[in-house]
């Protein structure tokens, strides 16, 4: 960490976290007591019915349901502490980065647009958290995390599986955006089928051929205008988008240039997993590694945005 973050840790965050250590230990103890008690109670009830002629099936059922009940009841205090620590750490670190932070977005920015352009999979349940907003190089932006689940059924039972967990990013792009340009993942032999259904509202999106073989291997591009799409996807931007996937340590980055906001925006979705967490509550709170991880993730966000919106530099492609 640089001196500014070191000062934040030494003067503010470390003494604050140290003051919460007794609460953490009490919360962990309560969680363990309820969890173990729930398991024992579940086993006792199951054993009671088993000794009176019940099926042995009651034993594992009692174990599971007792344990789950204990975790849910005993974990409420620990969960409140986790959210409090996470919110305070992210808020203070964001302030140093000249950003604003909220535990959840009041409105998930352009979420329906992400869906409309096919940048997100279909889902049954959705949840949002960790909303950051601010400005870099004269461009305002919003970033938040989305967790999408889809209900799956085999005819006898159903369950939910995660189909997307990562970040959604909206940036007011510095160059004028005209039309719509959508950048999706390459689907190999299925690219032709994907092209048949690409549209937004009344506008048909046609496939855009690009000259960069590395970009073509990773992405498929569709747009309302061939010339405008190539203008937005200049060689320098394509190179930066390729580097973005590595920088985020995620996968399946996809994006869109959208004129419909009135200002022109760049929308990016990336499967990064769950970021911006405060770490385990089963370890001492006053651990500098918690803050170091959050600082690195937040600086990565600001660096990504600056790299995407800054003008092409000498030595970049094109």
Specify if 44 maps to a domain.
Answer: no
**Higher pLDDT, residue 53 or 274:** 274
In the predicted model, is pLDDT for residue 125 greater than 90? yes
Q: Phi, psi (5° rounding) for residue 194?
A: -65, -35
pLDDT for position 210: 74
Tally of domains in the chain: 1
Q: Which of 234 and 127 is assigned the larger pLDDT?
A: 127
Does a structural domain hold residue 254?
yes
What is the pLDDT, as a whole number, of residue 151? 92
State the pTM of this model.
0.85
Summarised one tens digit per residue, pLDDT across range 280-308 is 999 999 999 999 999 998 988 888 888 88
Residue 268 lies in a domain: yes
Average confidence score pLDDT of the chain: 84
Say what the pLDDT of residue 178 is: 82
Within-domain flag for 191: yes
Q: Tell me: the pLDDT tens digits for 192-217?
A: 434 444 555 556 788 888 777 777 78
pLDDT bracket for residue 190 (50, 70, 90): very low
Q: Is position 41 within any domain?
A: no
Is residue 159 domain-resident?
yes
Task: Encode pLDDT of 139-166 as tens digits.
Answer: 899 999 999 999 998 877 888 999 999 9
CA distance 305 to 135: 9
pLDDT for 238 equals: 80
- 217: domain range? 105-276
Q: Establish if 9 belongs to a structural domain.
A: no
Is 16 domain-assigned? Answer: no
Q: Quickly list DSSP for 20-89.
A: THHHHHHHHHHHHHHHHHHHHHHHHHHHHHHHTT--TTHHHHHHHHHHHHHHHHHTHHHHHHHHHHHHHH
């Amino acid at each position: 960490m640089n001196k500014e973050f070191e000062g934040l840790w030494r003067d503010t965050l470390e003494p604050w976290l140290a003051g919460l250590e007794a609460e953490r230990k009490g919360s962990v103890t309560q969680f363990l007591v309820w969890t173990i008690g729930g398991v024992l109670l579940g086993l006792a009830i199951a054993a009671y019915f088993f000794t009176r002629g019940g099926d042995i099936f009651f034993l594992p059922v009692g174990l599971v349901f007792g344990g789950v009940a204990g975790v849910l009841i005993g974990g409420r205090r620990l969960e409140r502490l986790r959210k409090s620590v996470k919110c305070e750490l992210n808020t203070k670190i964001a302030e140093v980065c000249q950003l604003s932070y909220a535990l959840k977005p009041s409105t998930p920015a352009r979420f329906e647009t992400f869906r409309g352009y096919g940048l997100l999979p279909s889902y049954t349940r959705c949840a949002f958290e960790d909303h950051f907003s601010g400005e870099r190089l004269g461009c305002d932006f919003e970033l938040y995390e989305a967790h999408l689940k889809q209900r799956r059924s085999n005819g006898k039972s159903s369950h939910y599986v995660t189909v997307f967990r990562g970040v959604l990013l909206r940036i007011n792009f510095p160059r004028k955006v005209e039309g719509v340009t959508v950048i999706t993942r390459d689907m190999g032999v299925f690219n032709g089928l994907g092209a048949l259904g690409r549209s937004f509202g009344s506008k048909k999106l046609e496939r855009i051929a690009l000259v960069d073989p590395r970009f073509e291997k990773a992405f498929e591009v569709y747009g309302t205008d061939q010339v405008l799409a190539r203008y937005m996807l200049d060689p320098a931007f394509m190179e930066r988008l390729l580097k973005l996937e590595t920088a985020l340590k995620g996968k399946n980055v996809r994006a869109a240039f959208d004129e419909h906001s009135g200002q022109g925006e760049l929308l990016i979705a990336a499967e990064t997993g769950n970021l911006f967490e405060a770490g385990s509550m089963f370890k001492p709170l006053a651990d500098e590694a918690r803050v170091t991880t959050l600082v690195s993730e937040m600086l990565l966000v600001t660096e990504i945005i600056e790299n995407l919106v800054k003008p092409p530099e000498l030595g970049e492609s094109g």
